[in-house]
Amino acid sequence: MCREGVRTCSADGTWGVCEGEILPAVERCDATDDENCDGLECVVWTTAYKQTGDVHFMDIAGDADGNMFVSGAFFDTITIGDHTLSSASTTDILLLKLSPTGEPLWSKKFGDFYPDEPWVLTVDSKGNPLLSGTSDSGIDFGDGPLTAGSFIAKLDASGKPIWTKGPEGGGISAVATDANDRVIVAGSFSKPIDFGGGPMQPDDGDSDIFVAKLDGATGLATAPGCWVRTFGGNNATARVIDIAVDRSDNIFIAGSTLETAQIDRFTIDRGGFVMKLTPSGVPDWIRTMRVIGPNPAIVDVTGIAVDSSGRPVLAGDHSGDLQIGPHMMTSVSRDVFLVQFEADGTVGWVGSGQI
């Protein structure tokens, strides 16, 4: 629909309006016109898979070539292309790779007779998928069974294992990679966790937060440039939701807490939070999205991304009034919000709306 126009010079020497010009607009999926001028309709392709039981797709990530990886959990059978997968007994993990046009390239299932569940899926710069999750037994990705509990697995582009790790005592709720394809994982733990340097204990048996940078080739935190950081204190309800890494390999951790918590040298109020770590894992700053009002008013942070200038943007929802820096947002029931922070932690802008 887009096209150039013609602008003529008026008698007084100024430019007139551009006649016939059509600029890109928001694509309307209830019409067949190409309003945004990208040459594509709203739906590029769709697909469906035959199943005999429950299937829940959990996460999706893409590589540099436009291929897509999809993770999920399934029970009984699912047919992807000409390949039928069968669960062992209860739910197993499903991982499939699709071409840019949606054609299945391969599909795999992982699990045994006990429940297994994927959590987070991401892809490194070489197209290798990384999958975290939990298993009630010793899940095996092809390089030997892990112990029961949480896991992080790195596979190659064809789905074969590069390495798998089971830190045991913690749940890995966020995964990302840096510019060198080191793997950043974060979550919470109430029992000892081990990323290769020996067990690390939570403070006073409480639930603490951990962040680890793992070697991309081995999955160990003991390799050069890698580390594990734990943050104890009164943070039993603090949980990590997502991670983002900027171009300088600074790490941004987003999460929320149901009560006042202590994270490193920072005390945070009930609500959401974002913490910036240096590439070596040293906390730089932490900022809060503070909920105002009695329980059960809460804040749920749902995701974080960082732009090319190192400015994090958080998304979430809240009930009750929400204070972010000097900004106050009022909620009658439950609202969504977006907030951008500058690289130094000052608030750039905020926005909110009703669900």
pLDDT band at 29 (very low <50, low <70, confident <90, very high): confident
Q: How far apart are CA 118 and CA 116, in angstroms?
A: 7
For residue 119, pLDDT over 90 is answered with yes
pLDDT at residue 235 in the model: 62
pLDDT tens per residue across span 169-181: 778 999 999 999 9
- Residue 148 contacts by C-beta under 8 Å, 6 or more apart in sequence? 114, 135, 136, 137, 138
Q: Which of 23-27, 88-92, 93-97, 229-233 has the highest mean pLDDT?
A: 93-97
Give the Cβ contact number of residue 332 at 10 Å: 8
Residue-averaged pLDDT of the chain: 90
- Annotate 22-45 with three-state secondary structure: ECCCCCCCCCCCCCCCCCCCCCCC
Name the least confident of 50-54, 246-250, 270-274, 340-344: 270-274
Q: How far apart are CA 154 and CA 160, in angstroms?
A: 9
Greater model confidence, 296 or 325: 325
Asked whether the bond before 296 is cis by omega within 30 degrees of 0, the reply is yes
Q: Are 98 and 72 in contact (CB under 8 A)?
A: no
For residue 141, pLDDT over 90 is answered with yes
pLDDT tens per residue across span 58-96: 999 999 999 999 999 999 999 999 999 999 878 999 999
- Residue 55 contacts by C-beta under 8 Å, 6 or more apart in sequence? 49, 72, 73, 74, 75, 78, 94
- Rounded to the nearest 10 degrees, how much is the dihedral formed by the CA atoms of 198, 200, 205, 211? -140
Q: Calculate the CA 123 to chain-centre distance.
A: 11
Q: How far apart are CA 339 and CA 287, in angstroms?
A: 11
pLDDT at residue 85 in the model: 96
Share of the chain above pLDDT 90, in %: 60
Number of residues that make up the chain? 355
pTM: 0.86
- 43-64: average pLDDT: 93
H helices of the chain, where? none
For residue 132, pLDDT over 90 is answered with yes
